[in-house]
Structure 1
Amino acid sequence: MTARSEIRVDPHLDGLVGEKHYLPTAGGYALGVLRIAFGFTFLWAFLDKLFGLGFATPAERAVVNGGSPTTGYLSGVEGPFAGVFNAMAGGAVWDVLFMAGLLGIGVTLMLGAGARVGAVAGAFMYLFMYLAALPMVNNPVLDDHLSGVLVMVVIATVPASWSFLGLGEWWARVSPSRFLR
C-alpha cells in the first residue's frame, strides 16, 4: 500500500498551501523586507512630523509644538488640483486623518498584521500625493508616488509580503475578515 500525501489548503492563509508558499522562500523574505522598509518610511514621517526631528519637519513646525502637518505641503500645491489641496491645508480634520494614516500604515506594515488594510490605505495616500505633485517636472508620467502605489498594491495582494518577517500568518488566523489581513 502506498502512502498518499495530503495537501491541506487553509482558507485563512491566502497563498499558502500546507506549509509551503507559492513564492520561493527568498522571495517571501524579500517582500517582507520591502513591506517593513515602506512601513518604516511611513512611521518615520509620522514621528518626524509629530516631534519635528529636523529632517522634513523643523522642531518649530512639529505637531507637539502646535504645527500643522498638512500646511507646508498642501498650501504650496500647484497644478490642476491646487484648489482642492490648498483648501485642505491646515484643516484640523485633515491634520488628524493624515497623522493617523501615517501611524496606522506604518505600524501595520512594520508588523505585518493588518498589512493588507495598511497597504490599501498607503496606496491611496501615495495616489493623493501624486495628484498633489502634478504636473510632474522630471517625468511626465511616472514618479516615486506612483511607484509607491504599485508597491502598496503588491503588498496588499501577495500574501507572502505580510506572512514573512511579521505577524501576518497569526493575524490571518485570528482576523474576522479576509480584507482586514
Structure 2
Amino acid sequence: MSAGLRLLMGFVFLWAFLDKTFGLGYATPSGKGWTDGGSPTRGFLGAVAVGPLESAFHDWAGAPWADWLFMLGLLGIGVALTLGIGLRPAAFAGTVMMALMWIAEWPPARHLSDGTPSMSTNPFADYHLVYAVVLIALAAVGAGATWGLGRAWARLPFVGRNRWLL
C-alpha cells in the first residue's frame, strides 16, 4: 500500500516538473514552458492576492533563483519518491514546498472574502496539507523498501553515516 502511494506521489511531482518544463498543455500552456522561456513561478506567485507573505511572493515571482529552486524541488522530490531513496529529505523539502503553496493560496482569507470557496471547500485541509502529511508518513514508514531502492540506499556507507538521508 505505501509503495503504491509513494509511486503515485512521485508521479505527481514528476508530472508537475515535466509540465512546467515543457509546457505540455495541462497546468502550463503549450509554448509557455520553462524551456520556451516561461517562468514556472511568475504566474502562480504573481497572482497571490492575499495572505501573510503576499508581497514576498510577488518579489519572488519570476526570479531565476525561485524558478530554479522550485523546479529542482519538484524534480528531486519526484525522483526520490519514485526510486524510494532519500525519503526524509524529500518529505522535508516537499512539506516546505506544500506549506508555502498553501500560504500562497491562503484559503482562509480567500474563502471568507467573498463568501464562496475557490479551489477548496475546506479552508484548512486542502490538498497541499494532505500531500505534506502523506510525504511525512511515507518517510516515517520507510516506504522506499518495497518496490524501490530504499534498502540498497540505506546500505550505502555515506547514508549509514548520515541517517537523515534515509
Superposition TM-score, scaled by structure 1 size: 0.80
Q: CA deviation at 1:135?
A: 3.0
- Count how many residue pairs are aligned between Structure 1 and Structure 2: 151
**In 2, Cα distance between the equivalents of 1:83 and 1:156?**
33
Q: Kindly indicate whether residue 164 of structure 2 is the aligned counterpart of residue 179 of structure 1.
A: yes
Identical counterparts, % of pairs: 46
| Cα deviation 1:70-101 (Å, max 9, x = unaligned) | 01100001212211111110000000000000
Q: 1:101 maps to which residue?
A: 73
| 2:107–2:124 Cα contact (<8 Å) kept | no
Q: Kindly indicate whether residue 16 of structure 2 is the aligned counterpart of residue 45 of structure 1.
A: yes
| 1:120–1:156 Cα contact (<8 Å) kept | no
Aligned match for 1:144, one of 127, 148, 151 = 127
Q: 1:12 maps to which residue?
A: none
Q: CA deviation at 1:124?
A: 1.0
**In 1, Cα distance between the equivalents of 2:140 and 2:33?**
35
Moved more, 75-84 or 47-56: 75-84
**In 2, Cα distance between the equivalents of 1:100 and 1:153?**
19
Q: 1:77 maps to which residue?
A: 48
Which has the larger helix fraction?
2
**In 1, Cα distance between the equivalents of 2:91 and 2:7?**
11
Q: 1:169 maps to which residue?
A: 151
Q: After the TM superposition, list the runs of 4 or more consecutive aligned residues in structure 1 that deviate by more than 3 angstroms.
A: none
Give RMSD over aligned pairs.
1.1
| 1:85–1:132 Cα contact (<8 Å) kept | yes
- Code of the residue aligned with 1:167 in structure 2: it is L
**In 2, Cα distance between the equivalents of 1:167 and 1:178?**
16
**In 1, Cα distance between the equivalents of 2:5 and 2:92?**
15
| 1:59–1:65 Cα contact (<8 Å) kept | no
Unpaired segments ≥5 residues, structure 2: 112-120
Unpaired segments ≥5 residues, structure 1: 1-29
| 1:70–1:90 Cα contact (<8 Å) kept | yes
Which has the higher Rg, Structure 1 or Structure 2? 1
Aligned match for 2:38, one of 30, 51, 67 = 67
Q: CA deviation at 1:141?
A: 1.9
Q: 2:88 maps to which residue?
A: 116
Superposition TM-score, scaled by structure 2 size: 0.87
Q: 1:92 maps to which residue?
A: 64
- Code of the residue aligned with 1:127 in structure 2: it is A
